[in-house]
Chains A and B, each alone.
Chain A
Amino acid sequence: MQELLLEVKDLEINFYTYRGVVRALNGVNLRINKGEFFGLVGETGCGKSVTASAILNLVQNPGRIEKGEIIFKGIDILKMSKEEIRKDIRGKEITMIMQYPIAALNPVINNGEQISEALIANIDITKNEAEKRTIELLKEVNIPEPEKIARQYPHQLSGGMAQRVMIAMMLSTKPSLLIADEPTTALDVSIQAQVLNLLKDLVVKYNTTILLITHDLSVVAETCERVGVMYAGDMVEIGELKHIIDNPKHPYTRGLINAIPSEKRTKLQEIKGSVPDLVNPPSGCRFHPRCTFAKSVCKQKKPQMLEVEKNHLVSCYLYDGQK
Chain B
Amino acid sequence: MNSNNLHKKLDSWKKKHSSEISDIKESLFLIKRSPLTTIGLIIILLLVCVAIFAPIIAPYNPLEMHLDNRLSSPSKEHLLGTDELGRDILSRIIYGAGVALKIMLIVLAIDLPLGILLGLIAGYFGGWIDEIIMRMADIFMAFPRLVLAMAIGTALGPSLRNTMIAIALTMWPVYARLARGQTLSIKERTFIEAERALGSSNLKIIIFNILPLCFSTLIVRATLDMGNIIRIAAGMSFLGLGAQPPTPDWGLMISSGRNFLINQWWVPTFPGFAILLTVFAFNLLGDGIRDISDPHLRRGQG
Mark A residues whose CB is within 8 Å of B: 56, 58, 86-87, 89-92, 94-100, 103-110, 117-118, 121-122, 151-153, 166, 169-170, 173, 179
Residues of A within 8 A of B199 (CB): 86-87, 89-92, 121-122
B11 beta carbon closer than 8 Å to chain A: no
Q: Which residue of A lies closest to B216 (CB)?
A: A108
B197 and A151 within 8 A (CB): no
Q: Is the CB of A118 within 8 A of B19?
A: no
Complex contact A90–B198 (CB within 8 A): yes
* Any A CB within 8 A of the CB of B293: no
Is the pair A103, B198 in contact by a Cβ cutoff of 8 Å? no
User: At the interface, yes or no: B296 with Cβ under 8 Å from chain A?
Assistant: no
8 Å CB contact of B191 from A96, A103, A152: A103
Partner of B204, one of A103, A121, A152: A121
**Is the Cβ of B198 less than 8 Å from the Cβ of A170?**
yes
Q: State how many angstroms separate the Cβ of B58 from the closest Cβ of chain A.
A: 43
Residues of chain B within 8 A (CB-CB) of A169 are: 198
Q: Which of B18, B190, B193 contacts A58 (CB 8 A)?
A: B193
Which 6 pairs show the lowest CB-CB distances between chains A and B? A91-B199, A90-B199, A103-B190, A96-B197, A91-B198, A104-B194
Please give, as numbers and ranges, the residues of chain B lying within 8 Å of A153 by CB-CB distance: 19
Chain B, residues 2-34, CB within 8 Å of chain A (1/0): the string is 000000000000001011000000000000000
B198 with A122: CB separation less than 8 A: yes
Min CB gap A296→B, angstroms: 44
| Contact call A100/B197, Cβ cutoff below 8 A | no
From B189, B197, B208, A56 is in contact (CB under 8 Å) with B197
Query: Which residue of chain A lies nearest to B201 when distances are taken between CB atoms in the complex?
Result: A86
Tell me whether B66 is interfacial, beta carbon within 8 Å: no
Q: Let me know if B190 and A95 touch, CB within 8 A.
A: no
Point out residues on B near A: beta carbons under 8 Å.
Answer: 16, 18-19, 189-191, 193-201, 204, 208-209, 212-213
Chain B residues contacting A170 (CB-CB under 8 Å) are: 197-198
Contact among B18, B189, B194 with A96 in the assembled complex (CB-CB below 8 Å): B194
Chain A positions within 8 Å of B204 at CB level: 121
**CB-CB nearest in chain B for A94:** B197
Residues A91 and B197 in contact in the complex (CB < 8 Å), given A151-B16, A151-B19, A153-B19: yes
A98 to B197 alpha-carbon distance, docked (Å): 10
* The residue from B194, B201, B209 contacting A98, defined by CB atoms under 8 A apart: B194
Contacts of A173 in B (CB 8 A): 198
Residue of B190, B194, B195, B213 most packed against chain A (CB within 10 A)? B194
Q: Are the C-beta atoms of A100 and B190 separated by less than 8 Å?
A: yes
A85 to B208, CA, bound (A): 21
Contact among B16, B196, B208 for A109, CB-based, below 8 A: B208
Which residue of A is nearest B213, CB measured?
A108
- CB atoms of A58 and B196 under 8 A apart: yes
Chain A residues with CB below 8 A from B198, complex form: 90-91, 95, 118, 121-122, 169-170, 173
CB distance B213 to A98 under 8 Å? no
Not counting A96-B194, A151-B18, a sample of 13 additional A-B residue pairs whose C-beta atoms are within 8 angstroms of each other reads A86-B199, A90-B196, A97-B194, A98-B190, A103-B191, A104-B194, A106-B208, A106-B209, A108-B213, A118-B198, A151-B19, A166-B194, A173-B198
- 22 sampled A-B residue pairs with Cβ under 8 A: A86-B199, A86-B200, A86-B201, A90-B196, A90-B199, A95-B197, A96-B194, A96-B197, A98-B190, A98-B194, A104-B191, A106-B208, A106-B209, A108-B213, A110-B19, A117-B208, A122-B198, A153-B19, A166-B194, A169-B198, A170-B197, A170-B198
Interchain CA distance A285-B103 in the complex, whole Å: 71
Q: How far does the Cβ of B21 sit from chain A's closest Cβ, in whole Å?
A: 11
Tell me the bound Cα distance from A91 to B204 in angstroms.
14
| A110 contacts across to B, CB distance below 8 A | 19
Q: From B23, which residue of chain A is reached at the shortest CB distance? A: A153
Bound-complex Cα distance A21 to B198 (A)? 30
The CA of A106 and the CA of B207, in the complex, are separated in Å by 13
- Complex contacts, A118 vs chain B, CB 8 Å: 198
Q: Give A164 Cβ to nearest chain B Cβ, in Å.
A: 14
Minimum C-beta distance from B54 to chain A (A)? 38
Please, which residues of chain A bring their CB within 8 A of the CB of B191? 103-107
- The minimal Cβ–Cβ distance linking B69 to chain A, given in whole angstroms, is 58
Residues of A within 8 A of B190 (CB): 98-100, 103-104
Taking CB atoms, residues of chain B closer than 8 Å to A109 are 208, 212
- Cα–Cα, bound, A110→B23 (Å): 13
> Within the complex, what minimum Cβ distance (angstroms) separates A134 from chain B?
14
Measured CB to CB, the closest approach of chain A to B68, in angstroms, equals: 63
Shortest beta-carbon distance from B216 to chain A in Å: 9
Most B CB contacts (10 A, CB to CB) among A104, A109, A110, A152 go to A104
Which A residues are in CB contact (< 8 Å) with B18?
A: 151
Kindly state the separation between the CA atoms of A106 and B200 in the bound complex, as whole angstroms.
13
Find out whether the CB atom of A107 lies under 8 angstroms from the CB atom of B197: no
Residue of B nearest to A57 (CB): B196
Q: Cβ of B212: which chain A residues have Cβ within 8 Å of it?
A: 108-109
Q: Which residue of B lies closest to A113 (CB)?
A: B208
Chain B residue nearest to A61 (CB atoms) is: B126
**Residues of chain B lying within 8 A (CB to CB) of residue A122:** 198-199
Q: Is the CB of A106 within 8 A of B195?
A: yes
Docked Cα-Cα span, A95 to B194, in Å, equals: 9
Report whether A152 and B19 are in contact in the complex, using a CB–CB cutoff of 8 Å.
Answer: yes
